[in-house]
Amino acid sequence: MASDDQLGKVFARRPKRADAQRNYDALIAAAREVFGECGAGASLEEIARRAGVGIGTLYRNFPKRRDLFEAVYVEEVRALSRSAAGLVDLPPWDALVGWLNRFVAYVATKRALAEELVHDSEVFRSCRTEIYAAGEPLLRRAQDAGVARPDAGFDDVVRLISGVTAYQFPDPAQRDRVLAIALDGLRSPAAHG
């Protein structure tokens, strides 16, 4: 996982008091929802309204729009990374596919936020490092079990998933079907037989 030093700028804004923390968490949840629905240009007033706080509370926590983008993005990356730990009891292929399905959902809903962040910013690089730290062990475990192609690197997998999520699908079922086809290409030839 990325160190708190790398993401310290984002986490330094987290409030200490319980009521302030509730407001902060409500703002993150509302921003995640509103950005998912409306994209990066979503109204900050709408985010504050859905969080049940005033616009002043939003600006106290996130003085700039970019601060809110970064906080939502980091929280989502942290949740995605933590989800890998919940899959360790599954068979290696199932664990990898389960995490990659979560990764697809994450990428599909966070593309607008990622585009607002500079791709070579410290926060973006730290989040990328955290995602790789969560996903690479799942791929290695599947490779060691002989169910994933031994010649695939995690960067290959990220590019594969990014390709699948680069397009808007008319419905989630089609996205899932295209992902399944792509994952068949990641499966070891021996596992197909």
Which of the residues in the chain have pLDDT under 50? 1-4, 6, 12
Three-state secondary structure string covering the chain: CCCCCCCHHHHCCCCCCHHHHHHHHHHHHHHHHHHHHHCCCCCHHHHHHHHCCCHHHHHHHCCCHHHHHHHHHHHHHHHHHHHHHCCCCCCHHHHHHHHHHHHHHHHHHHHHHHHHCCCCCHHHHHHHHHHHHHHHHHHHHHHHCCCECCCCCHHHHHHHHHHHHCCCCCCHHHHHHHHHHHHHHHECHHHHC
User: What is the per-residue pLDDT for 1?
Assistant: 43
User: What is the per-residue pLDDT for 5?
Assistant: 52
**Domains of the chain, start order:** 8-192 (1.10.357.10)
User: What is the per-residue pLDDT for 91?
Assistant: 96
Residue 2 in contact with residue 130, Cβ under 8 Å? yes
Q: The pTM is what? A: 0.76
User: What is the per-residue pLDDT for 14?
Assistant: 62
